[in-house]
A and B are shown apart, each in its own frame.
Chain A
Amino acid sequence: MLVLSRKTGEVITIGASVTVTILGIDRGVVRLGIEAPKSIPVHRKEIHDKIVEINRQAVKTEFNALKKAISKARILLKNELQSNNVIEKKTK
């Protein structure tokens, strides 16, 4: 791991397109300003990891289990009209 010491207001560049600016340090909390192109998603690691975990769980869902769940849990679906899109839209 590359370790760099930086003062408030100083910047780190990563490649040609990413910059990280140290905005401030206050009682153990560092505020970073990150500029990156849209193709490089920037996220807090714990949130990213949580979503990866949820996605991995979601792809295990079996069709029949979902079908069963839908019939069991009478879900509060507030606006059925919103759901008619994508495939229907594409095939018009």
Chain B
Amino acid sequence: MNENLQQDVKIITPHFGELIIQNDQIFYFENGMLGFEDLHNFVVISEEETAPFKWLISIEKPEIGFPLLSPWLIDINYSPGDQYDIEKLVFFVVITLENEEGKMSANMKAPVILDTDNLKGEQIILPFDKYATNFIIEEKK
């Protein structure tokens, strides 16, 4: 856990406004997110209007937020490898909007893993080629 954050934290986000984040909801990312290595503390926000999507919001820079989705909502057989306890760890994939028409892609190759026991988080890159960085979430036909 980050020793700098002993108390509840107030953040102001562009969409969610002012949020009081409890210390035990903050995940410490030792290496940050890829491309955002200077950000170490994140909170996952659920919001009814964009459920089941969630947002990984930076505590240091609350204007930075990653849309997230459970990889199993996209691929029920998603399998990141035996070294990860998928019963115990919480997995998300980062979602990107591809266009205005609602086409979205999911980065299945670089999931975000949260450990709710020690409040640590990381974005890993799976070492095998099975999963795409830009898997298109298909529309229901």
B107 CB within 8 Å of chain A: yes
**A83 contact set on B, CB distance < 8 A:** 51-52, 54, 69-70, 73
In the bound complex, do residue B50 and residue A63 qualify as a contact, i.e. CB atoms below 8 Å apart? yes
A59 CB within 8 Å of chain B: yes
Say which residue of A53, A68, A75 sits within 8 Å of B140 (CB atoms). Answer: A75
Interface size on B, residues (CB 8 A): 57
Interface size on A, residues (CB 8 A): 44
In the bound complex, do residue A78 and residue B46 qualify as a contact, i.e. CB atoms below 8 Å apart? no
Chain A interface helix/strand/loop/mixed: helix
**B65 contact set on A, CB distance < 8 A:** 59, 61
Write the nearest CB–CB distance from A28 to chain B, whole angstroms. Answer: 21
Binding site for B on A (CB under 8 A): 39, 41, 43, 47-48, 50-59, 61-63, 65-80, 82-91
